[in-house]
Amino acid sequence: MVTSEELQDDEEYQDIVEDITEECNKFGEVEGVRIPRPVARKQKKGWAPETMSAVEADQNRRMDEANGVGRVYVMFTSVDAAKKAMEALGGRQFGGRTILVASVSEDEFVGEKPPPLPALPAPPVDDSAAPPPASAPAPAAPKPTFVPQPPPPKPKNLDEEADDLLNDILG
């Protein structure tokens, strides 16, 4: 649904999460949205443009693919809402790409619990209103703010990874 280039910039990433959350809320309450981010790319200093070897590019692509980069996971509070969203969004276009939908287990979504949604702005306070009676229930706690996911960590042994890739290519 999204490209790794779109997910590298924190502001663009946040905009995408907000757009998807807003659109999916039309079908029911969204519990969380997870968009895996790409592997951090090396940036060289100086005037020379960065050149990445084919092995490095392939390694980054494989790591991104394994981490689910390009996919968007949305968790709804109900199965009915998820079904409505899947029917409505499947086949639509987003950024020039066709959306493919599938249901996945909660474990695949994130493991334990999805990241929280962005906090909504607080409504204006009306000072003229009388305080609630003592028997009134306490207001619900505000939802936590959204914290962008950091990119996945770099592999520990690039030489070993490169050797594995070379062995795969050579058969």
What span, in angstroms and rounded, lies between the C-alpha atoms of 81 and 79? 5
* Assigned domain for 48 exists: no
Domain boundaries, position 27: 4-41+58-119+142-161
Q: Give the residue, 92 or 162, on which the prediction is more confident.
A: 92
Q: Give the residue, 5 or 152, on which the prediction is more confident.
A: 5
Q: Under a CB-based contact definition with an 8 Å cutoff, are residues 12 and 26 in contact? A: no
DSSP-derived secondary structure for 90-145: TT-EETTEE-------HHHHTSS-PPPPPPPPPPPP-TTSPPPPTTSPPPPPPPPP
What are the residues whose beta carbons fall under 8 Å from the beta carbon of 72, sequence distance 6 or more?
Answer: 1, 2, 20, 33, 34, 35
Indicate the number of domains in the chain: 1
Q: CA neighbours within 13 Å on the CB side: how many for 133?
A: 2
Q: Give the residue, 84 or 6, on which the prediction is more confident.
A: 84
pLDDT at 148: 58
Convert the pLDDT of each residue in 92-104 to its tens digit: 887 788 888 888 8
Q: Give the amino acid at 112.
A: E
Length of the chain: 171
Convert the pLDDT of each residue in 58-89 to its tens digit: 787 787 777 778 888 899 999 999 999 999 99
* Assigned domain for 126 exists: no
Lowest mean pLDDT among 15-19, 62-66, 92-96, 110-114: 110-114
Give pTM, 2 decimals: 0.55
Q: Give the residue, 124 or 39, on which the prediction is more confident.
A: 39
* Assigned domain for 81 exists: yes
* Assigned domain for 127 exists: no
* Assigned domain for 36 exists: yes
Q: Give the amino acid at 78.
A: S
What span, in angstroms and rounded, lies between the C-alpha atoms of 157 and 171? 21
- Local confidence band at 114 (pLDDT 50, 70, 90 cut-offs): very low
